[in-house]
Amino acid sequence: MKILVINCGSSSLKYQLIDMNDESTIASGLCERVGLDGKITAKAKGQKVKFDVSMPDHTTAFYEVKKILTEGDLKVIDSLEEIAAIGHRVVQGGALYKESCLVNEQVKADIDMLSDLAPLHNPAHIQGINAAEDVFGKDVPQVVVFDNAFHSTMPPKAYMYPLPYEYYEKHAIRKYGAHGTSHRYVSKRLAELHPEYKKVIICHLGNGSSITAVKDGKVIDTSMGLTPLDGFIMGTRTGAIDPSAVTFLMQKEGLTPAETDNIMNKKSGFLGISGVSSDMRDVEEAAADGNERAQLALDIFYYEVPKIIASYIVALQGLDALVFTAGIGENGCNVREGICKELECLGIKMDYEKNDGIRGKEVRLDAEGSTAAIFMLPTNEELMIARDTKEIVEAL
């Protein structure tokens, strides 16, 4: 069974064709600048091809994907009929969707209705689902996998904000979390390797980062909130700050909510503090060259991340395993080391020699005598989406 996994952004479409017989990736690619000039990067058969092509909307982007998969040098299938189903990543399912499901008109209407909570993402997902219907026809089942569904097990004490209760009732303001598909993949993978570990903390560290506390396979708390802005310093996002700092800034600078949102989401974090870059590697390089603001950005990161981990150890009432994943977590050996150094006071000890140079492969990293196991487990959100899609389609 072949499944096409789709992740639609407002001006992008990422795809991955997965063969579920061995869970291998047959082809993948990224359509960028949809609605603008249009650029495609496509990978298959060990080749990577980049080209420009006009894509005025997501439907034309899907036609391009269809062409790449079925024609020319990167052709991997004879016809679209070989694709059994399509799985879409959806950022926000609110409190309505606790698991993945088949797309129908009601599901589309709900995703649209939840756009308020994810204005950049949910409208793009609807466009993607409609475009897939146009190109593949209505007979190919489509499944949606909600990014925050894994977090739906959080108890009210973790997800409620102490605002007047009426705002929760009126606007559904609460913590929803994000990166749930990644946290779920990693949590399941660890459970396969070590079913005995019941209290787990997963650090998904990338451009966007979140930390999740998982007890008996269920999320009890996570660092992202109503939106993916909450938590700790990220590439361009603030993470948690005093809410009054926001209204203060708006008043002082005469900013609109949209302008403030833009500053907190796109101009803050590593980029805002260092003035150098949002990319961890650039910030590390600048700090090593003596840039004090770059060093300050790193100092904030190494202060905030262990503090959240420590607070989740209390939430879990102990810790069996700490896991690192995503771009920084999988590749940043010195980042994993820097975080674990701060946790030594809790008896958590990393084997720093073993950690050195480890990139992109599953590995256990704790030293003898550590109070908790430490792992690096690469995430695979696309595979998780494909697995859900397969399960739902097979049950039809």
β-strand 142-146 against 209-215: which pairing, if any? unpaired
The CA distance from 209 to 326, in Å, is 9
Residue 231: left if φ>0, alpha if ψ -120 to 50, beta else—which one?
Answer: left
Q: Read off the DSSP letter of residue 9.
A: E
Q: Check if 147 is active-site.
A: yes
Closest residue by beta carbon to ligand ADP: 327
Contact 201, 215 (CB under 8 A): no
Minimal distance, residue 236 CB to ligand ADP, in Å: 10
Q: Is 84 within 8 Å of 1 (Cβ atoms)?
A: yes
Does residue 383 belong to the site contacting ligand ADP (CB under 6 A)? no
Shortest CB 290 distance to ligand ADP, Å: 19
Establish if 281 lies at the interface with ligand ADP (CB under 6 A).
yes
User: Which one is catalytic: 147, 230, 366, 388?
Assistant: 147
CB nearer to ligand ADP: give 127 or 331.
331
**Encoding tokens for residue 288?**
């090593």
Between residues 117 and 280, which has the closer beta carbon with respect to ligand ADP? 280
Q: Which residue has the tokens 């069996």?
A: 320
- Among 331, 355, 370, 380, interactor with ligand ADP by CB under 6 A: 331
* Options 309-317, 323-331, 338-346, 362-370: segment touching ligand ADP (CB under 6 A): 323-331
186 binds ligand ADP (CB under 6 A): no
Q: Which of 82, 279, 285, 342 binds ligand ADP (CB under 6 A)?
A: 279
Piece of the chain touching ligand ADP by CB under 6 A; list 16-24, 53-61, 77-85, 321-329 = 321-329
Pairing of strands 209-215, 2-9: unpaired
SS3 328: helix
Instruction: Describe the crossing of helices 381-394 and 180-193 by its angle, rounded to 10 degrees.
Output: 80
Tokens of 373: 């196991």
Q: Is 326 in the site for ligand ADP (CB under 6 A)?
A: yes
Give me the least distance between CB of 141 and ligand ADP, in Å please. 27
216-245 binders of ligand ADP (CB under 6 A): 235
3-state secondary structure of 343: coil
271 binds ligand ADP (CB under 6 A): no
Among 68, 328, 348, 384, binds ligand ADP (CB under 6 A): 328
Residues 346-375 that bind ligand ADP (CB under 6 A): none
Q: Cα separation of 334 and 49, whole Å? A: 33
CB proximity list for 37: less than 8 A, separation 6 or greater: 52, 54
Q: Which residues are catalytic?
A: 147
Give the footprint of ligand ADP on this chain (CB under 6 A): 206-208, 235, 279-281, 326-328, 331-332, 335
